[in-house]
Amino acid sequence: MIGVPIKINMPSPGSVVLDRLPVHAIALRSLMSVLKTLNVKIFKCLDCRGTKRLPDFPSSVRVIECRFCEHLLELPELPPALEVLKLHGCENMKDDFHEIPLPASLQQLQLVSAPNITRLQATLPSGLCLLNVSGCAFLTELPNLPSTLRYLNCSFCWRLRPPSLPSSVVTYVGDQVGYLLQ
């Protein structure tokens, strides 16, 4: 097999940005085994169009951000101390997202422009502060929202029933209109 160069950007200690990752999953798995030794806390995959599934993450990862990884279908098990999960423009993400256990440590969940997602986990993490599901056009309902939630964006979720908001919500964006509460 011919070696495949992968451009890795490490803008600061503990963070890794993969930009325009090629299709070669073998190279990605090898990269992730190296990242485990680097104590990586932030993982970003930007415009990695050929990536269908991300490999297992090191337990040190606190932030996962995937933007415009249009062929990304599924995620591996999430790290136990994950605080932020951002999936923007991952248009082919499978509908079984609701089966992925979300870590209790998760504070931000952003699923933006993921039209295949029809539902979320039955129970969201109790410490969740931000939930952004804008552009999930086939999402039909939200689970009970945690009392820690401060920001909710469900704009362009055409099939979503109006959510029951906990009193902790300060900003709600829905039906293309934003509301500042309190």
Domain layout of the chain by residue ranges:
8-180
What pLDDT tens digit does each residue of the chain (182 aa) get? Answer: 334 444 555 556 565 565 555 444 445 556 666 666 667 788 888 777 677 777 788 888 899 988 888 788 888 889 999 999 999 988 888 777 888 899 999 999 999 998 888 889 989 999 999 999 999 988 888 999 999 999 999 999 888 888 889 999 999 898 654 444 54
Measure the CA angle with vertex 125, ends 168 and 77; round to 5°.
150
How many whole angstroms separate alpha carbon 16 and alpha carbon 41? 8
Torsional class of 68: left (φ above 0), alpha (ψ -120 to 50), beta (otherwise): left
- Specify the pTM: 0.82
**Which CATH architecture does the domain made up of 8-180 adopt?**
Alpha-Beta Horseshoe (3.80)
How buried is residue 126: exposed, middle or buried, by Cβ count under 10 Å (0-12/13-18/19+)? exposed
How many whole angstroms separate alpha carbon 103 and alpha carbon 20? 28
